[in-house]
Structure 1
Amino acid sequence: MRVVVYLPLLLSLLAPLGARRLSERCEPRLATWLLTVSSLVLAATGTLSLGLLAATGLVRIPLLAALGHWSAHGAQRDDPTELSVALFAGLLLCAAVVTAARMLGRRAYALAAAALDAACMPARDGLVVVDDPAPDAFALPGLPGRVVVSTGMLHTLDASEHDILLAHERAHLSAHHYAFVALAQLGAAANPLLRPLATAVGYTTERWADESAAAAIGDRARVARTVGKAALAARRSPARSRLADAALGVFGRHRGPLAAAGPVPRRVAALLAPPLGRHPVLAAATGAVLLAAALSGAEAAHDLHLLLEAIGAG
């Protein structure tokens, strides 16, 4: 197994360095897609690398080698990978698979529970008002989804700001932001090095919803003031609604789209600045990194195939 097998793991280590730049300089919709795909691809190729490294250790065990009609001695002779490295990779692989499976199960359960809650909620135009003095607002995914707003949040904002709040929350539902967040978190569960990417996706989905609200309202400054006002009110008086817990199960620590989804000052500053462009250089660089990870994973798999052929012939 050549050194190329380690490249996806190295890229996973370096990828978080570009996550903040991508989330801050690239148009939010594109940044969300790039970060989410990056999390999944790097998690998949990193897991593949661990599996390939672990396989080089397994074929050195005489009993397992005999099952595949391979030469354990030939594997030890022809493959430069240290047995300790292969064993360590195997342990990491088991941990990654178990963690990802548990996370996937929790997210599936939370999504099903949220969808059931949404289906049981009487709503008018998809809006549910909860009698709770604590300011809160969140999007609850389902078929159809619901925008849940507390009376405390409605009293905090004036009538003109209600439309901005609803536009923001409905953007979360229409663009299926919960799916982007869940997929990015799945990649981070399989590879903890990618947690900054999952955090960045939480931020860019908020920025995406902010920009959707700004486009619908036509006044970026008003949206910025509303975001800051709602977030400040929610921080001062934490919500107690049990419905918010259901949304939390889908979005992880993503409490509510306006409450603590990311650094609010950064979001407000972005709304007060001109809209961001697509930044083709960053997009191309991200694509190059993902292509390198995919090609290196494929090349490492080919190396293992050649090794098995060689020790099988011996």
Structure 2
Amino acid sequence: MNAIPDETLLSALSIPGTHESLSLHGGPLLKRQVWTLDTQLKLGIRYFDMHVGIWLFNQKHISVSDSHWLFGQKIHFDEALGIFVNFLNVHRSETVLVKVTLHGLYKRKVREFMMNLIEKYRNNIWMKLSVPNMQQARGKIVLLQSDTFSIGTNNHDSYFFENGKLINVEVKIRNIKSQLCGHYIVLTNSAASAYRSPNTRAQKVNKQIYSFVDQHKKSSTNQGCIGVLSMDFPSVELIKNIIEIKPCNCKHQLEQHLHLTSQHLGQTGTQLKHHLDQSQKQQIEQHLGQSWKEELRQHLHQTLASLGLILNQ
């Protein structure tokens, strides 16, 4: 990420990620990944989907599990945070996005644990609702909101996938581009449906993603406006292919936003000028009386000329 300009919004990047990032255990219906957290980071994964909770009320650490809360993944969430922080301390130009979903019967206590961890690593975490630019995100974990944990940056589903297939993606990109350029992070979840082999399905889905990314880089008029791609069992080649996508060009959206803002300010200025003109005229007429109308007209002419000059500066 070192070559990405500081002013680039994080939402304007195409980011490879993993779904159920630490589901490495539990059998063929639960296992979603083969690489440890360290390996995923080294290979270029920058979005992580974490499912956490506690099994017993007297637990002292948050456990990481699969999304069905069936099988513990032999790592605590504070360990995972430590891995992220250590990686970012070494690679200061990088950032990682983390979305946390809470599970189990003791969500309230898990939230308390989460807040303690956030306080511990507050200098290493971006937890604001707004989308950071790269200068703000470098060296930090960017938390994304989830249905069960509301702290973090706003994000929404892209709906690129319909019934397991990429449908009308370029049309959808055009529709979401204005929002992607600053309002929220777009997230595409390509995960397998429950009780189907994630590995078998991922092979088909990942081939679709690879072909789409190839075609997108060659011919899209909105290149790079994809957001986060969260995947099961991504290959090294697929990760690299996503990383190579240029950032979304948000310049047009920014210019359009500034134009609309300018128009609004112009209308507001005209209304204000009219209000001041009428108010000043009434005050002067009351003070001078109707017999001094000629002098009043001259005075108003000078006042309005002055107002016009001020408003045009």
Structure 1 or 2: larger helix share? 1
Larger Rg: 2
Q: What is the TM-score of this pair, normalised by structure 1?
A: 0.26
Structure 1 or 2: larger strand share? 2
Q: What is the TM-score of this pair, normalised by structure 2?
A: 0.26
